[in-house]
Amino acid sequence: MRELLTFGRYLKRKFGEKVYKVPIALSGFTCPNIDGSVARGGCTFCENESFNPVLNRVEKIKGFTLNLQSKSNPLLDRQLHELETQFLSLSKKVKERYGAEKFIVYFQAFTNTYAPLETLKVLYSKALSFDGVVGLSIGTRTDSITIETLQYLQELSKEYEIWVEYGIQSVFNSTLQKINRGHSSENVEEWIRKTKEFGLNVCGHLIYGLPDEDSEMMQTTFQKAVEWGVDSLKIHPLYVVDKTALANSYRRGEFSPISEEEYISNLVTSLKNLPSNISIQRVTAGIENDTLLAPDWCYNKQESIKKIRKALREEGIIY
C-alpha cells in the first residue's frame, strides 16, 4: 500500500503539526475574464458566489474593481478590515474545533494578483502578520500575474510558505475556448514555468468532464501539468450551477456532465501516475444546495470521497 501525499500530509511533515487553510474573499477584486479585459461573462461555469460562500459575507461594491493598471485603491482600508475580520473569525472556529495553531491564508475568490503590487504588498504582509500564520496561498490566473509580483513573492518565500494557485483546467485550447477561459494553454505553461523559476510553489487546478473531452484528453492535461512542474494539484469534475452560461448549454441539451464512474476512473488513473513529490489538495468538489443543476452525484461530496477512497484502495493507494 502506498500513501498518497495529500496536502495535509505535506504540511504536517513540513511543520510538524496540522496547518489549516483559511479562505478569504475581499471586496474590490474581480477577474479579467469578467471585467472585459480579456473577455466578458467569465468562464462558462463560473458563478463565483456559489463556489465561494465567503463571498456572501462581503458587502457588494458597485462601481469599483481593481485591475493591474489601477492607480489608486479607495477600498484598501476596507479590504484590510475584511481580511482581519474573516481571518479572526474563521481561524477562531478551527482553533476551537480542532485545536489549530498554524494557518495559511488562502486568497481564494476571484483573481487575487489582479491588482497593483502596492495593494498586494499591503494585503499579503497584513495576512502574514496574524498570529499562527505560516504562509499564503494565492489563487489567480496565469494572465494576471507580473514578474514584479513573482519577485515580491520570492522575497516572502524566504521566510514563509508561499503557494500560487493557477487554473489550468485543460491543456487543449479548443476546450479553453469552449469554456470561455480567456487565455491559452501556452500562457499557462509559460507562467507556471516562470513561477517555478522564482522558486515558488505552484498548485494547478484541473477540471475533468469539460465539454467534449474524453479520458485521453483528461490524462493528457494531467501529464502536462506534471511536466510543467506543479507541486500540487486540485482536481474536480465540471458541474453545472444555475445562472451560468453552462447552465444554459445544459438546458439546451448541449452539455452532458461526466458520470461519477467515469470521473472516478479518470481520477484514479491520474493518481496512480502522480509522482510522489506532488501533493494532492482536492479530489472532487460539489455544491450542497439547489443552485446545483447537474450532475446529481456532485450534491454529495462526502459520498463521492468514500467511493474515491475505496477505488484508490483497490489500486493499493491510501488516500
Give the 3-state secondary structure percentages of the chain, helix then strand then coil, rounded to 5. Answer: 45, 20, 40
Q: How far is the CB of 273 from ligand SF4 (least distance, A)?
A: 26
Out of 6, 27, 37, 48, name the contact with ligand SF4 by CB under 6 A. 48
List binders of ligand SF4 among 176-215 (CB under 6 A).
none
Cell 513529490 maps to which residue? Answer: 277
Nearer to ligand SF4, 109 or 230 (CB): 109
Amino acid at 191: W
Q: Which stretch binds ligand SF4 (CB under 6 A): 28-36, 70-78, 257-265, 299-307?
A: 28-36
Out of 110, 124, 166, 228, name the contact with ligand SF4 by CB under 6 A. 110
Residue 102 is a binding residue for ligand SF4 (CB under 6 A): no
Q: How many residues bind ligand SF4 (CB under 6 A)?
A: 11
Write out the DSSP string of 230-247.
-SEEEEEE--EETTSHHH
* Site track for ligand SF4 across 138-177, x = CB under 6 A: ---x-------------------------x----------
Q: How far is the CB of 168 from ligand SF4 (least distance, A)?
A: 11
Q: Where are the beta strands (DSSP E) in 14-132?
A: 19-24, 102-107
Q: What are the distances in angstroms from CA 36 to CA 15, 30, 41, 67, 237?
A: 41, 11, 8, 11, 27
Write out the DSSP string of 270-289.
HHHT--TTSEEEES-----S
Binding stretches for ligand SF4 (CB under 6 A)? 31, 33-34, 42-43, 46, 48, 110-111, 141, 167
